[in-house]
Amino acid sequence: MAVFQLKINGEIHNVQAESDTPLLWVLRDNLGYVGTKYGCGIGQCGACTVHVDGVATRSCLLLVSQIQGMEITTIEGLSENGDHPVQEAWKEVDVPQCGYCQPGQIMTASAFLENNTNPSDSDIKSAMQGNICRCASYKRIEKAVKVAAKKLS
Amino acid sequence: MKTNNKYNFSRRSFLKTSTLASGGMLIGFNLFNACKPEVEPPIDLSLLNYNDFNAFIKISDDGKVTIFSPNPEIGQGVKTSMPMLIAEELDVAWKDVQVVQGILDTKNYSRQVAGGSQSIRSGWEPLRQTGATTRQMLVNAAATRWNISPSECKTKEGVITNSNGDKLGYGEVVKEAALLEVPEDYKLKDPKDFTIIGKDAINVDMAKIITGKPLYGLDYKVEGMLIASVLRPPAFGQVLESFDDTNVRALPNVKNVVKFGNKIAVLATDTWSAMKGKNALKAVWKQDSQAESTIFHDEKLLELLNGEKFETLRKDGDVKKAFAEADKVLERVFETPFLPHNCLEPMNFFAHVQTDKIELVGPIQTPEWTANRVATLLGRDVNEITLQMTRMGGGFGRRLYGDFALEAAEVSHLAKAPVKVVFSREDDMSAGTYKPAIKYKISASIKDNKVTGYHLKEAAVNGNMYGLIPNFFPAGSIENYQVDVANYQSNITTGAWRAPYTNFLASAEQSFFDELAEVLETDRIKLHIDLLQKAKGSTDERMQYSPERLEAVINKVVEKSNWGKVKEGIYQGFSVYYCHNTHVAEVADIEMENGFPIIKKVTCAVDCGIVVNPTGAKNQVVGGILDGIGHAMYGDLTFVDGIPQSNNFNSFQLIRINQTPEVDVHFIESNEAPTGLGEPTLPPVGGAIVNAIYAATGQRLTNQPYINNLKLEELAG
């Protein structure tokens, strides 16, 4: 096992892990950032989405050995008080049903809106289509992304 | 039909109060106490303490209210809506209420189950009675202090007032109230005075969900806990012959390997190491019973459907005679495949089996049943078991079964360690308990251009439609009516899947009625309305649905969907269904894009009685419809030699955001007692979409997944 230095939510962590361990499990099991969820392990569901240098990335496909020197942001680090405009929008629209996929949805949406604060309906659908919501709260996700876009612009 | 749930309580025994050592009052009661006469009220209330029972309400000295929500939360929203019922009658401000998930407590709660869309319907009377009784006790305490009659007191948002202008907060009288006799003269509010019920309340766990706080079973952790990844037989019908774990035991972080039954658990200090260890196990399996494939199931079910060996679940009149005398007969076969539940949080459970106690923690829809099964499995007394429910990343019926909790208990017992069993997605999709494959043959006899007989035959894997389903519409509206069922016993495990049986039956029947209307050369809406007239005024005890309420949702959806009046190029499909005590009608709008039918919109009218939490209710209605569309269109799990052919989301298609139509929801205004919403909007939507596809393309789709049934070459012209 090797030691990896990771920068997560602005803090440096030294993590001892096997080099093939996905970032997802390092976050959840080694560091206790359980807001990053496991859904499929093969990059199909988006529940484990984090920001890597600002880009929405599936943490289940990223190995701990590949990310040294990169800035990782998890749902816990998206805002200090849970008040990022996307989180606020999620609250306003009352998006979650079971809620399990929502941190991943929020991480995808927040990275997307960084680069597009005036998205069309089809922009939103194509940006969010990698994230599965098994409860199918999709209509409210669409609405919340629009609300968040307004807050950000 | 029964829409009002009136329970006869011995009120003296359903409420228990206790002053808290830390100040404040706890009030507990038994749901359905009438069914549990053995539960006696404590003789000396002052002897009670918090540990004696699990309560519904806790009021602190500063007036803050904690409400314990008894039922499992799987995303259906009961952790928000059930406490709303208590808070309404307690007459406190919703913003002052904190909600906490109650633990399994069979002495003080009943029906701690998430299933059948029954939580709100069952809780409607008793939860409000709890709130009202508590409010009355607080009022009585204030009245005693003021030396006036309780009838001279009023309450609002947790404050008691009288005509002299005196004021007391609930927290100021809570200790006195806790020592009072439980009153029997409380009054429930008139629905017009509701201030919480009927108003939007956002998900009580919102702040935790959107910031990623630990909430779910997969997030649960205790010191020294090992993660168990379990290798199960790769094919149904196989058993374990031998295995070699030498390499696995040498892997980093792997602490133990435990064989139990036909399974092998690899225990490690972290999830990744456990999963890697499981994948490195070398196991030899042998076929113990038949290796079944989808082709085999199709043949078996068709053989049953076309055979003579049926059990009759309902028989009205003489179907045989009606068909013999018919001018015309319409007969169609409808087919649906196996489906996995695919909760986004894979199955998992924590167990710590110790010599004097057993701790169980995790996502479970049936905590009581599960605790009993663990006790039986390990030969222990159920009173040694505590079970804490976590929030669940979806349920859909899968978490009724508790197999994962039993695995955790057995592995913890064998390994003598606190253990959490964690399924990988592949484990989750391959472990069984699927929605069974089912085929229906529906026939109708027509005489003098009227429907005279209706014969529904079901051939299903492992089990058949049960309970009240044979009495749902169109039962009671057609004179000669018969439901026959047969099943094939498979070694592939099956179970309840969101709206069991009706999730496909409604699609099949509503598709059949669409064609029936065409054969009768009548309007689809008129056919239903005419049939419902025959069911009105029925005194048949088996009657489940209300013809009047079904007619009302039909009229509402016709109006709101602009049925028959939409612009050219929009093709509509209609569907109506009653299940889980709720009446629903839906219309799907389809447009052809590049020669392919695209679902653009679904209009839905729902009668679920009083809508407790409109925002939560709408979430359930829309979610049910989109889930229904996704699985009807794309859902398919096939087998080759007992091996499921999909095991992750690259080989099993779930609906995604870009495939979702607009959904327009209309609730019928009602003062009837509320009914559930977790399931009833899902079953009819399959019918609405296939009927719209027929209108758009002329193709009648009968077999799910419908996408495979669509003849694309014909569409291309």
Residues 68-107 of A with CB under 8 A from B: 74-76, 78, 82, 87, 90-91, 94, 96-103, 106
CATH number of A85-152: 1.10.150.120
- List of chain A residues whose C-beta atoms are within 8 Å of the C-beta of residue B216: 37, 100
CATH classification number, B217-288+347-422, choose in 3.30.365.10, 3.40.50.150, 3.20.20.80, 2.40.160.40: 3.30.365.10
Answer whether A94 sits within 8 Å of B206, measured CB to CB: yes
d(CA B668, CA B557): 10
Residue B270 contacts A, CB cutoff 8 Å: yes
DSSP state of B198: T
Residues 616-645 of B with CB under 8 A from A: 616, 619-620, 622-623, 626-627, 630
CA distances from B135 to A80, B139, B171, B458 (A): 39, 6, 12, 51
Residue to substitute from A97, A102, A108, interface B, most B β-carbons within 10 A:
A97
Tell me: pLDDT of B6 over 80.
no
Percentage of residues of chain B with pLDDT beyond 70: 91
B291 neighbors B265 (Cβ within 8 angstroms) = no
The SS3 assignment for B457 reads strand
Side chain identity, residue B559: E
Domain ranges of chain B: 11-211, 217-288+347-422, 438-715
Closest Cα in chain A, distance from residue B89 (Å): 24
Domain with CATH 1.10.150.120 in chain A: 85-152
pLDDT tens-digit map of B47-79 = 333 222 235 788 877 778 888 888 888 888 999
B404 neighbors B348 (Cβ within 8 angstroms) = yes
d(CA B705, CA B28): 48
Tell me: pLDDT of A3 over 70.
yes
Is the model more confident about B183 or about A145?
Answer: A145
Beta bridge partners of B256: B267
| Helix H or strand E segment including B554 | helix B547-560
Q: What is the ipTM of this complex?
A: 0.98
DSSP for B222-272, written as a single string: -TT-EEEEEE--SSTTEEEEEEE-HHHHTSTTEEEEEEETTEEEEEESSHH
- List of chain B residues whose C-beta atoms are within 8 Å of the C-beta of residue A75: 210-212
B384 neighbors B395 (Cβ within 8 angstroms) = no
Tell me: pLDDT of B37 over 60.
no
Residue B651 contacts A, CB cutoff 8 Å: no
Within a 10 A sphere around the Cβ of B354, how many other Cβ atoms?
A: 12
pLDDT tens-digit map of B626-641 = 999 999 999 999 999 9
pLDDT of residue B110: 65
Torsion of CA B219, B224, B225, B228, to 10 degrees: 130
Tell me: pLDDT of B31 over 50.
no
pLDDT of residue B35: 25
Picking from A25, A98, A134, the nearest residue to B342 by CB comes out as: A134
Closest Cα in chain A, distance from residue B372 (Å): 26
pLDDT of residue B45: 33
Lookup result for tokens 């996408």: B707
pLDDT tens-digit map of B474-526 = 999 999 999 999 999 999 999 999 999 999 999 999 999 999 999 999 999 99
pLDDT of residue A88: 98
Residue B540 contacts A, CB cutoff 8 Å: no
Side chain identity, residue B165: G
Average pLDDT for chain B: 91
Q: What is the CATH superfamily name and number for domain A2-76?
A: Beta-grasp domain (3.10.20.30)
Q: So what's the architecture of B438-715 in CATH?
A: 2-Layer Sandwich (3.30)
Asked if CATH classification 3.50.50.60 holds for the domain at B11-211, the reply, yes or no, is no
pLDDT of residue B29: 43
Residue A41 contacts B, CB cutoff 8 Å: yes
- List of chain B residues whose C-beta atoms are within 8 Å of the C-beta of residue A124: 657
Closest Cα in chain B, distance from residue A27 (Å): 11
d(CA B48, CA A120): 60
Helical spans, DSSP H, in B96-232 = 119-146, 170-178, 206-211
Closest CA to B435 of B491, B499, B496, B504: B496
Residues 53-72 of A with CB under 8 A from B: none
Domain with CATH 3.10.20.30 in chain A: 2-76
Answer whether A29 sits within 8 Å of B394, measured CB to CB: no
Answer whether B344 sits within 8 Å of A25, measured CB to CB: no
The SS3 assignment for B653 reads coil
Answer whether A39 sits within 8 Å of B345, measured CB to CB: yes
What's the pTM value of the predicted model, to 2 decimals? Answer: 0.94
Within a 10 A sphere around the Cβ of B703, how many other Cβ atoms?
A: 14
Residue A138 contacts B, CB cutoff 8 Å: yes
Q: Which of A60-64, B203-207, B622-626, B713-717 is predicted least confidently? A: B713-717
Residue B75 contacts A, CB cutoff 8 Å: yes
Answer whether B209 sits within 8 Å of A102, measured CB to CB: yes
- List of chain B residues whose C-beta atoms are within 8 Å of the C-beta of residue A44: 648-650
pLDDT class of A39 with cuts at 50, 70, 90: very high
d(CA A79, CA A10): 12
pLDDT class of B115 with cuts at 50, 70, 90: confident
B384 neighbors B359 (Cβ within 8 angstroms) = no
Strand pairing class (B57-59; B65-69):
antiparallel
pLDDT of residue B113: 80
pLDDT of residue B26: 54
Tell me: pLDDT of B267 over 90.
yes
pLDDT of residue B104: 81
- List of chain A residues whose C-beta atoms are within 8 Å of the C-beta of residue B76: 97
d(CA B626, CA B299): 31
pLDDT of residue B19: 47
Beta bridge partners of A56: A51
B88 neighbors B189 (Cβ within 8 angstroms) = yes
The SS3 assignment for B73 reads coil
Residue B650 contacts A, CB cutoff 8 Å: yes
Beta bridge partners of B665: B604
Q: Going by C-beta distance under 8 Å and a sequence separation of 6 or more, which residues neighbour residue B414?
A: B258, B260
Tell me: pLDDT of B124 over 80.
yes
pLDDT class of B2 with cuts at 50, 70, 90: very low
Residue B272 contacts A, CB cutoff 8 Å: yes
Q: What are phi and psi of A44, to 5 degrees?
A: -100, -20
DSSP state of A63: B
Side chain identity, residue B471: N
Residues 163-222 of B with CB under 8 A from A: 200, 202-203, 205-207, 209-216, 218-219, 221
Tell me: pLDDT of B46 over 80.
no
The SS3 assignment for B611 reads coil
Closest Cα in chain A, distance from residue B219 (Å): 6
pLDDT class of B714 with cuts at 50, 70, 90: confident
Average pLDDT for chain A: 97
Tell me: pLDDT of B18 over 70.
no
Within a 10 A sphere around the Cβ of B384, how many other Cβ atoms?
A: 17
User: B489: phi > 0 → left, psi -120 to 50 → alpha, else beta; which?
Assistant: beta
Residue A143 contacts B, CB cutoff 8 Å: no
| B148-165: b (≥16 Cβ within 10 Å) or e | eebeebebeebbbebeee
Strand pairing class (B65-69; B97-101):
parallel
pLDDT of residue B141: 92
B157 neighbors B92 (Cβ within 8 angstroms) = yes
pLDDT class of B15 with cuts at 50, 70, 90: very low
pLDDT tens-digit map of B317-354 = 999 999 999 999 999 999 999 999 999 999 999 999 99
Beta bridge partners of B153: B162
pLDDT tens-digit map of B407-443 = 999 999 999 999 999 999 999 999 999 999 999 999 9
Lookup result for tokens 């204030």: B142
Within a 10 A sphere around the Cβ of B672, how many other Cβ atoms?
A: 14
Q: How far is CA B222 from the centre of its chain?
A: 30
pLDDT tens-digit map of B557-578 = 999 999 999 999 999 999 999 9
B705: which 2 tokens? 């997944």
Tell me: pLDDT of A66 over 80.
yes
Residue to substitute from A21, A23, A126, A134, interface B, most B β-carbons within 10 A:
A134
B90: which 2 tokens? 């307690």
B201: which 2 tokens? 């309340």
Answer whether A98 sits within 8 Å of B620, measured CB to CB: no
Chain B residue closest in CA terms to A106: B210
d(CA A123, CA A118): 9
Give me the mean pLDDT over the B640-645 stretch.
98
pLDDT class of B582 with cuts at 50, 70, 90: very high
Chain A residue closest in CA terms to B427: A40
